[in-house]
């Protein structure tokens, strides 16, 4: 279980609805990851939390960035990180996007098809490419399968084509699926990587770059029925350490190993201060009666991932108050704007009243960037970055990005 005490202090210090991001917590999470995976370089997957203060904090700590296009590359560069620590990790890119990334100085490109590779050769001549291998996504809440990655056979074709077109066939990447809950998925991915590295070697291609992708879990998330997900993080790290050791053995030379976590670094260090809009009790179509708790934030302003998980809720000052099980939902006129309710409702105070504070924990990942412009008129949630560990450090505040 994550330690929420310092975040609670920050949540209690204000009144309005906002996302609070704890930069000290994110730093500590980064340090812990580097400690678990010595020799593995971290490239933060920006889409999980593209907030300038968070990116600058991670860059100052030594992280680089996995960027999905020229806009993210430009945002990453604004942190002052050297461009060598940024790669273009999206296999989906137009000619113009490739040329722009190349102009910005990026030299490492993910790919998974001959068409994309030909475009990289044309618009980023001389670049290094790494081929993304498909995974099943099994065991993950969001599988990221099918849309990305290629078979080992295609990977070899693509790496050979890279060599033939003047690019450097540098390496391989995978993504085991987001919020991956099993260590077996990591084992399978590492086994595949080792096999393809060996096979590439037999084709005269020595790969010096392996990118283990994202997928490391948030620890505080709840499943669709409200149970803690409890991912076996220690086991995952053991599997990854042993797998990396094996990759170094089969690679036949120096090997750069990267990992690009998104949610793992930020999810448990962000929380939303929201309010109760209304608690209602109504007869449902099946004849039964149910409580519904409508919050001031939901799928379109902070809680985008409510399709696959539930967020921990706290009602400050209400510990020990009588509760009722309720379906939890956001404030908009969209029925998707509700927690997946595969199981019993969440326990909420029976006399929750409009305006009461609600704290939503473990929502630092995939919250700001998935906010709509103002669906139903509900504005993007503002955010604050705080330094919970350093009492004197001032908080910086900003509005969620809304104008380009």
* Residue nearer to ligand PLP on the CB measure, 109 or 292: 109
Residue 100 token pair: 């722009």
- For residue 133, the cross-strand partners are 150
Q: Does 310 participate in binding ligand PLP (rule CB under 6 A)?
A: no
From candidates 89, 137, 169, 349, binder to ligand PLP by CB under 6 A: 89
Separation CA 380–CA 276 (nearest Å): 17
* Residue nearer to ligand PLP on the CB measure, 140 or 279: 140
- For residue 383, the cross-strand partners are 19, 398
Task: Give a three-class secondary structure readout of 284-322.
Answer: CCCCCEEEEEEECCCCCCCCHHHHCCECEEECCCCCCCC
* Site size with ligand PLP, rule: CB under 6 A: 16
Residue 155 token pair: 């990977």
Separation CA 385–CA 268 (nearest Å): 14
CB of residue 349 vs ligand PLP: minimum separation in angstroms? 33
Question: Are 155 and 133 a contacting pair, CB within 8 Å?
Answer: yes
Q: Does 101 participate in binding ligand PLP (rule CB under 6 A)?
A: no
| 188-217: contacts with ligand PLP (CB under 6 A) | 213-216
Q: Does 364 participate in binding ligand PLP (rule CB under 6 A)?
A: no
Task: Give a three-class secondary structure readout of 333-391.
Answer: CCCCCECCCCCCCEEEECCCCCCCEEEEECCCCCCCCCCCCCHHHCCCCCEEEECCCCC
Stretch that binds ligand PLP, among 98-106, 160-168, 240-248, 258-266 (CB under 6 A): 258-266
Site mask for ligand PLP (CB under 6 A), range 40-59, x = bound: -----x-xx-----------
Q: Does 171 participate in binding ligand PLP (rule CB under 6 A)?
A: no
Stretch that binds ligand PLP, among 190-198, 260-268, 339-347, 394-402 (CB under 6 A): 260-268
Q: Does 263 participate in binding ligand PLP (rule CB under 6 A)?
A: yes
H/E element holding 43? strand 40-45
Site mask for ligand PLP (CB under 6 A), range 214-253, x = bound: xxx-------------------------------------
Residues 6 or more apart whose CB falls under 8 angstroms from that of 344 comprise 225, 226, 325
* Residue nearer to ligand PLP on the CB measure, 181 or 348: 181
* Residue nearer to ligand PLP on the CB measure, 57 or 111: 111
* Residue nearer to ligand PLP on the CB measure, 231 or 349: 231
Separation CA 42–CA 65 (nearest Å): 8
From candidates 149, 261, 298, 349, binder to ligand PLP by CB under 6 A: 261
Task: By CB under 6 A, name the binding residues for ligand PLP.
Answer: 45, 47-48, 66, 89, 175, 178, 213-216, 260-264
């Amino acid at each position: 279980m994550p330690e929420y005490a310092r975040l609670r202090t920050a949540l209690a210090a204000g009144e309005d609805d906002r996302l609070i991001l704890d930069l000290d917590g994110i730093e500590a999470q980064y340090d812990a990851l580097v400690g678990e995976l010595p020799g593995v370089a971290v490239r933060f997957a920006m889409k999980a939390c593209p907030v300038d203060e968070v990116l600058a904090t991670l860059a100052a700590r030594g992280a680089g960035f996995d960027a999905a296009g020229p806009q993210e590359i430009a945002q990453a560069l604004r942190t002052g990180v050297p461009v060598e620590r940024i790669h273009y990790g999206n296999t989906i890119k137009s000619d113009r996007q490739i040329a722009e990334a190349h102009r910005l100085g990026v030299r490492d490109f993910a790919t998974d098809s001959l068409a994309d590779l030909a475009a990289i050769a044309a618009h980023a001549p001389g670049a290094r490419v790494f081929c993304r291998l498909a995974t099943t996504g099994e065991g993950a809440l969001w599988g990221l399968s099918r849309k990305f990655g290629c078979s080992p056979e295609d990977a070899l074709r693509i790496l050979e084509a890279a060599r033939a077109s003047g690019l450097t066939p540098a390496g391989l990447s995978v993504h085991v699926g987001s919020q991956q809950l099993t260590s077996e998925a990591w084992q399978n991915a590492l086994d595949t990587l080792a096999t393809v590295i060996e096979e590439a070697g037999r084709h005269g291609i020595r790969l010096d770059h392996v990118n283990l992708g994202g997928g490391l879990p948030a620890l505080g998330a709840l499943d669709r029925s409200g149970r803690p997900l409890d991912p076996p993080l220690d086991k995952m790290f053991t599997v990854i350490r042993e797998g990396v050791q094996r990759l170094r053995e089969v690679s036949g030379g120096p090997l750069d190993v990267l990992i690009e976590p998104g949610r793992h670094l930020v999810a448990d260090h962000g929380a939303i201060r929201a309010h109760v809009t209304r608690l209602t009790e109504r007869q449902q179509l099946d004849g039964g009666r149910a409580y519904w708790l409508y919050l001031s934030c939901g799928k379109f302003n902070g809680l985008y991932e409510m399709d696959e998980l539930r967020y921990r809720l706290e009602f400050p000052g209400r510990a020990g108050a009588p509760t009722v099980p309720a379906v939890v939902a956001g404030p908009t006129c969209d029925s998707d704007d509700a927690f997946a309710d595969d199981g019993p409702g969440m326990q909420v105070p029976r006399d929750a009243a409009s305006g009461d504070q609600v704290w939503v924990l473990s929502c630092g990942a995939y919250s700001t960037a998935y906010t709509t412009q103002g669906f139903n008129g509900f504005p993007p949630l503002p955010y604050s970055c705080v330094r919970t560990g350093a009492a004197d450090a001032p908080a910086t505040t900003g509005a969620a990005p809304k104008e380009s």
